[in-house]
């Protein structure tokens, strides 16, 4: 009996979907010599390309003319070729691995690809008529079959028509075609006819997209440290359409008249301020740029025009992301975050900006992108030798107040207030702004910091954010860490070749004491990092930082409880909940996390903090367009079973079972885990079919 390798089973369980069959996953697995890591990387690339192809086909269907459709077809062709094995080394592959998938090709591109395959096998055309192919070259013995998977009848009909003698249906699988090269005996006997032998197909000339006049006007004045990423033809078409839909677009490109009865800032406001648009610019940002450029009207106008282009691109990418999922969605969100960063100051040159004008616009960021950017702003300011040298500093963060957000929830503003509790406060003068406070630099925070602390914070990991910590707290958390019995092994790498990467991580980082980490949690982090050993190790070191800080905060909170200092108890409770949230997957990126990796560790939350977190988790899952689309879902919640508490009962578990009765249950075999249950979303077609019945 054929035994399927466990690593192949895991890949099929994880990646099988309507766009990626289990048989194709098996093929990729064996193509990569049964290496699960290379196969997984390939499959992730395949899924990313597939999501973009889906979006391109939607844009293709909406294209206004044939030239636009041709552009999309060329882009689709490039991506679908990436989904197949590369053609540059086919002659070294066994016959069993010469398999290609044509399902997503446009028809003409599929035919071109089939023509390219024999060329890639270096079958020379010497001595034969134009439009024919001979068996000269490396394919000289036996019969080579190309199984070309296709469920598209149009592609199938075209190939059977153009290759009548060489292509036939696979008798064992109707969705496969076979392209055969008989054993070579002479040039005349191994001839394969190309498309339209008498008359080669005419190539369509791709029309070059002309840069719109408005774009040239908006970007003709160069501004230091302001620029755009490379704009693709598809992006240019999209932002051109968005620009023309803006009712105020004409006044943005008209010559700006500096001679006006209005004050300069009011004249700028009258031209560029756009409060009703979702992707407009706020009055305070217009005023801010005017003073940043020392009241130079021409430079301010040029800078605001560049900002229009940035915002049009951001608008376009937000529209595209609504149709994406998985890695394609993550890539699109990273592009949005990069564009928003470009709207703000370069963090390398903050020392050159007047301190009164250190203001940052966080509008349009994804939530995690905003948190990461604020982390970078803090790091840049605190590492500067001059900015905090003489005085403390307050900087402004424009977040908005949620008027254009889902359910009017200002998610960026809310998360910043939660995660930087005590360092960030609301601006009393500007409704949609926050104040980020910095103390005067009296000494280097890291000068006396322990080596393990510097080791952790010097390594940045995606979606891992440094918690707010006060300088006077560092000695206390150092004392806590040095009191851990296994602390030495956490920062001394000894890799055992006889163990798997996961087993090595578990040997190094497992801690069964109070505020420790379990084998299950380590395995979860390893899976979240796509089994990247070095990234997982960096995340586990950050987790050490989180846990010793949480332990210190709980100790301090308990001291205030004993003294009945309710204000401090509440303040430290908020800080604890913020750090525990940071240990977990951010609720703002659930759509790009594999469903099997959606697990949350609720250890050390305050009771109210745990309930609030699960409520937000439920809201995010049910609000998602993708998570519950295909199946019901069960999410494990690690609560513990109270073995480290005075009463030996998990209060968090008790309250969750009470508050989410009917939607949450205990794990069948592990008393320290609850299962949060979600039903599959009913699709409109399902509701219709039920009504018919």
pLDDT at 395 over 90: yes
Residue 115, pLDDT score: 80
| 617 and 562, same domain (yes or no) | yes
DSSP codes joined into one string, 265-328: HHHHHHHH--TTSTT---HHHHHHHHHHTTT-HHHHHHHHHHHHHHHHHHHHHHHHHTT--HHH
| 156 and 249, same domain (yes or no) | no
Report yes or no on 631 lying in a domain. Answer: yes
pLDDT confidence bin for 646, thresholds 50/70/90 = low
Q: What residue ranges in 126-185 does DSSP mark as E strands?
A: 132-133, 144-149, 167-170, 173-181
| 429 and 548, same domain (yes or no) | no
Report yes or no on 472 lying in a domain. Answer: yes
* Residue among 144, 141, 140, 142 at smallest CA distance from 98: 144
**Percent of the chain predicted with pLDDT > 90:** 18
- Output the furthest CA–CA distance in the chain (Å, rounded): 98
256: its two tokens: 């700006």
| 12 and 40, same domain (yes or no) | yes
Chain-wide mean pLDDT for the chain? Answer: 79
Report yes or no on 475 lying in a domain. Answer: yes
With both helix axes pointing from N to C terminus, report the angle between 107-120 and 153-162 in degrees, rounded to the nearest 10. Answer: 50
pLDDT at 692 over 60: no
Report yes or no on 212 lying in a domain. Answer: no
| 422 and 280, same domain (yes or no) | yes
- Residues 394, 438: Cα–Cα separation, whole Å: 6
- Residues 327, 313: Cα–Cα separation, whole Å: 20
Domain boundary residue, one of 379, 403, 438: 438
Least confident of 63-77, 93-107, 189-203, 435-449: 189-203
Which pLDDT tens digit goes with each residue over 590-635? 888 888 899 999 999 999 999 989 998 998 888 777 888 888 999 9
- Residues 314, 361: Cα–Cα separation, whole Å: 14
Domain boundary residue, one of 438, 473, 504: 438
- Residues 525, 502: Cα–Cα separation, whole Å: 10
Least confident of 128-142, 340-354, 578-592: 128-142
| 600 and 640, same domain (yes or no) | yes
**Cβ neighbours of residue 667 under 8 Å, at least 6 residues apart?**
636, 673, 674, 675
Residue, of 18 and 46, whose pLDDT is higher: 46
Residue 3, pLDDT score: 54
> Which among 106-115, 226-235, 436-445, 546-555 has the top mean pLDDT?
546-555
Beta bridge partners of 661: 664
Which pLDDT tens digit goes with each residue over 448-493? 688 888 888 878 787 777 777 777 888 899 999 999 888 888 988 7
| 416 and 497, same domain (yes or no) | no
DSSP codes joined into one string, 35-83: -HHHHHHHHHHHHHHHHHHHHHHHHHHT-SSHHHHHHHHHHHHHHHHHH
Strands of 600-601's sheet in order across: 600-601, 633-638, 673-678, 664-666
Residue 546, pLDDT score: 92
pLDDT confidence bin for 562, thresholds 50/70/90 = very high
Residue 187, pLDDT score: 29
pLDDT confidence bin for 287, thresholds 50/70/90 = confident
- Residues 313, 339: Cα–Cα separation, whole Å: 8
∠60-65-70 over CA atoms, to 5°? 55
Report yes or no on 205 lying in a domain. Answer: no
Counting the structural domains of the chain, the total is 3
Report yes or no on 204 lying in a domain. Answer: no
Residue 407, pLDDT score: 65
Contact 598, 632 (CB under 8 A): no
DSSP state for residue 661 in the 8-state scheme: B
Report yes or no on 75 lying in a domain. Answer: yes
pLDDT confidence bin for 171, thresholds 50/70/90 = low
170: its two tokens: 């696979």
Which pLDDT tens digit goes with each residue over 403-440? 666 666 788 998 888 888 778 999 888 888 999 998 87
- Residues 432, 436: Cα–Cα separation, whole Å: 14
Residue, of 203 and 42, whose pLDDT is higher: 42
**What CA dihedral angle connects 197, 199, 201 and 203, to 10 degrees?**
140
Average pLDDT for 278-293: 84
| 544 and 400, same domain (yes or no) | no
The range of the structural domain enclosing residue 119 comes to 6-193
pLDDT confidence bin for 689, thresholds 50/70/90 = low
Report yes or no on 691 lying in a domain. Answer: no
| 503 and 609, same domain (yes or no) | yes
| 169 and 248, same domain (yes or no) | no
| 307 and 412, same domain (yes or no) | yes
Q: What is the 3-state secondary structure (H, E, C) of 324-336?
A: CCHHHHHHHHHHH
Domain boundary residue, one of 391, 416, 438: 438
| Residue 339 dihedral angles phi and psi, to the nearest 5° | -65, -40
Beta bridge partners of 173: 170
Which pLDDT tens digit goes with each residue over 73-116? 888 888 888 888 888 777 667 766 778 888 788 888 888 888 88
DSSP codes joined into one string, 489-529: HHTS----TTS-HHHHHHHHH-B-STT-B-HHHHHHHHHHT
| 422 and 532, same domain (yes or no) | no
Contact 410, 399 (CB under 8 A): yes
Least confident of 17-31, 275-289, 629-643: 17-31
Residue, of 688 and 350, whose pLDDT is higher: 350
Q: Is the pTM above the cut of 0.85?
A: no
């Amino acid at each position: 009996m054929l035994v399927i390798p466990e690593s192949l089973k895991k890949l099929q369980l994880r990646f099988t979907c309507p766009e990626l069959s289990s048989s194709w996953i098996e093929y990729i697995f064996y193509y990569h010599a049964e290496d699960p890591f290379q196969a997984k990387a390939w499959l992730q690339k395949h899924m990313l390309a597939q999501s973009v192809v889906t979006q391109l086909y939607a844009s293709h269907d909406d294209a206004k003319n044939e030239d636009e459709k041709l552009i999309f077809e060329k882009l689709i062709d490039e991506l679908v070729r990436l989904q197949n094995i590369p053609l540059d080394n086919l002659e070294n592959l066994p016959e069993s691995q010469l398999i290609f998938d044509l399902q997503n090709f446009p028809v003409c591109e599929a035919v071109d690809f089939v023509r390219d395959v024999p060329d890639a096998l270096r079958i020379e055309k010497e001595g034969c008529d134009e439009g024919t192919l001979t068996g000269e070259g490396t394919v000289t013995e036996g019969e080579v079959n190309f199984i070309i998977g296709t469920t598209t009848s149009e592609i199938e009909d075209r190939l059977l028509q153009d290759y009548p003698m060489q292509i036939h249906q696979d008798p064992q699988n109707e969705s496969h075609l076979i392209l055969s090269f008989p054993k070579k005996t002479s040039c005349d006997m191994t001839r394969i006819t190309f498309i339209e032998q008498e008359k080669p197909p005419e190539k369509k000339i791709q029309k070059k997209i002309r840069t719109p006049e408005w774009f040239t006007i908006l970007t003709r004045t160069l501004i230091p440290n302001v620029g755009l990423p490379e704009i693709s033809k598809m992006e240019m078409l999209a932002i051109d359409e968005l620009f023309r839909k803006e009712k105020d677009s004409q006044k943005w490109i008209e010559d700006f008249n500096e001679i006006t009865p209005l004050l300069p800032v009011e004249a700028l406001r009258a031209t560029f301020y756009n409060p009703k648009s979702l992707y407009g610019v706020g009055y305070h940002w217009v005023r801010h740029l005017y003073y940043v450029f020392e009241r130079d009207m021409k430079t301010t106008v040029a800078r605001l025009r560049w900002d229009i282009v940035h915002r049009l691109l951001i608008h376009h990418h937000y529209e595209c992301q609504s149709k994406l999922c998985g890695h394609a969605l993550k890539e699109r969100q990273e592009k949005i975050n990069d564009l928003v960063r470009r709207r703000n100051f370069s963090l390398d040159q903050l020392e050159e900006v007047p301190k009164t004008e250190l203001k940052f616009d966080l509008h349009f960021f994804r939530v995690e992108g905003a948190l990461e950017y604020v982390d970078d702003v803090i790091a840049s300011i605190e590492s500067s030798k001059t900015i905090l040298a003489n005085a403390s500093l307050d900087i402004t963060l424009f977040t908005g107040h949620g008027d254009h957000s889902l359910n009017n929830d200002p998610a960026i503003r809310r998360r910043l207030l939660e995660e930087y509790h005590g360092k960030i406060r609301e601006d009393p003068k500007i409704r949609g702004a926050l104040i980020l406070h910095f103390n005067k630099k009296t000494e280097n925070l890291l000068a006396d910091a322990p080596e393990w602390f510097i080791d952790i914070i010097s390594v940045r990991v995606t979606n891992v954010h440094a918690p707010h910590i006060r300088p006077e707290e560092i000695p206390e958390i150092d004392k806590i860490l040095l009191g851990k019995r296994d602390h030495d092994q956490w920062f001394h790498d000894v890799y055992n070749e006889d163990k798997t990467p996961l087993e090595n991580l578990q040997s190094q980082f497992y801690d069964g004491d109070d505020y420790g980490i379990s084998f299950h949690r380590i395995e979860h982090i390893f899976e979240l990092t796509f089994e990247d050993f070095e990234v997982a190790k960096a995340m586990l070191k950050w987790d050490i930082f989180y846990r010793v800080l949480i332990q210190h905060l709980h100790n301090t909170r308990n001291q205030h409880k004993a003294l009945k200092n309710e204000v401090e108890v509440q303040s430290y409770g908020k800080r604890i909940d913020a750090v525990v949230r940071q240990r977990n997957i951010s609720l703002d990126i659930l759509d790009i996390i594999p469903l099997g990796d959606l697990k949350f560790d609720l250890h050390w939350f305050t009771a109210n903090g745990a309930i609030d977190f699960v409520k937000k988790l439920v809201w995010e899952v049910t609000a998602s367009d993708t998570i519950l689309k295909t199946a019901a879902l069960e999410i494990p919640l690690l609560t513990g079973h109270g073995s480290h508490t005075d009463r030996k009962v998990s209060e968090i578990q008790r309250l969750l079972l009470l508050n989410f009765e009917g939607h949450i249950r205990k794990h069948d075999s592990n008393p320290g885990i609850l299962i949060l249950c979600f039903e599959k979303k009913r699709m409109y077609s399902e509701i219709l079919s039920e009504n018919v019945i």
